[in-house]
A and B are shown apart, each in its own frame.
Chain A
Amino acid sequence: MANARKLRILVAKPGLDGHDRGARVVARAFRDAGFEVIYTGCHQTPEQIVSTAIQEDVDLIGLSILSGAHRYSFPRIMELLKENNAQDISVIGGGIFPLEDIPTLKAAGIKELFEPGAKLSDIIDWVGTNIIPRREAE
Chain B
Amino acid sequence: MDIIQQIVSGDVRTIARVLRDIDDELPSSRSVLQRLHPHTGKAHVIGFTGSPGVGKSSLVDQIATAYRKESKTVGILAVDPTSPFTGGAILGDRIRMQRHFLDPGVFIRSLATRGQFGGLSKSTNDMVNVLDAAGKDVVLVETVGVGQDEVEIANSAHTTVLVMVPGMGDDIQAIKAGVMEIGNIFVVNKADREGSRKTVRELMNLVEIGARRRNDENWEPQIVETEAVKGRGIDKLCETIESHKAYLQAAGSEKWREASQKRIRLQLLGALRDEAFRAILARIEKSGDSIDEIVRRIVARESDPYTVVQQIVDGLR
Q: Assess whether B24 is in contact with A3, with CB atoms less than 8 Å apart.
A: yes
Stretch of A32-40, A61-69, A93-101 lying at the B interface = A32-40
Chain B residues whose CB sits within 8 angstroms of the CB of A21 once the complex forms: none
Chain B residues whose CB sits within 8 angstroms of the CB of A86 once the complex forms: 13
> How close is A2's CB to chain B, nearest CB, in angstroms?
5
Q: Assess whether A84 is in contact with B13, with CB atoms less than 8 Å apart.
A: yes
> How close is B176's CB to chain A, nearest CB, in angstroms?
32
Q: Assess whether B95 is in contact with A137, with CB atoms less than 8 Å apart.
A: no
- Among the listed B16, B18, B28, B91, which residue makes an inter-chain contact with A36, where contact means beta carbons less than 8 Å apart? B91
Q: Is A28 an interface residue (CB 8 A)?
A: yes
Q: How large is the interface on B (under 10, 10 to 19, 20 to 34, 35 or more residues)?
A: 35 or more
Q: Is B12 an interface residue (CB 8 A)?
A: yes
Chain B residues whose CB sits within 8 angstroms of the CB of A51 once the complex forms: 101-102
Q: Is A71 an interface residue (CB 8 A)?
A: no
Binary CB contact string for chain A from 19 to 34 against chain B (1 if under 8 A, 0 otherwise): 0000000011011111
Q: Assess whether B89 is in contact with A31, with CB atoms less than 8 Å apart.
A: yes
Q: Assess whether A32 is in contact with B13, with CB atoms less than 8 Å apart.
A: no
- Among the listed A4, A6, A32, A48, which residue makes an inter-chain contact with B102, where contact means beta carbons less than 8 Å apart? A48
> How close is B187's CB to chain A, nearest CB, in angstroms?
24
Q: Is A56 an interface residue (CB 8 A)?
A: yes
Given contacts A2-B26, A2-B27, A52-B101, contact A136 B21 (CB under 8 A): yes
Q: Report Cα–Cα, A31/B89, bound state, in Å.
A: 5
Q: Is A54 an interface residue (CB 8 A)?
A: yes
Q: Assess whether A52 is in contact with B88, with CB atoms less than 8 Å apart.
A: no
Q: What are 12 A-B contacts with C-beta separation under 8 Å?
A: A1-B281, A1-B282, A6-B87, A31-B88, A34-B86, A44-B98, A47-B101, A47-B102, A55-B16, A136-B26, A136-B29, A137-B17
Residues of B whose CB lies within 8 Å of any CB of A are 3, 12-14, 16-21, 23-29, 32, 82-83, 86-92, 94-95, 98, 101-102, 107-110, 112, 114, 278, 281-282
Residues of A whose CB lies within 8 Å of any CB of B are 1-6, 8, 27-28, 30-41, 44, 47-48, 51-52, 54-57, 84-86, 134, 136-138
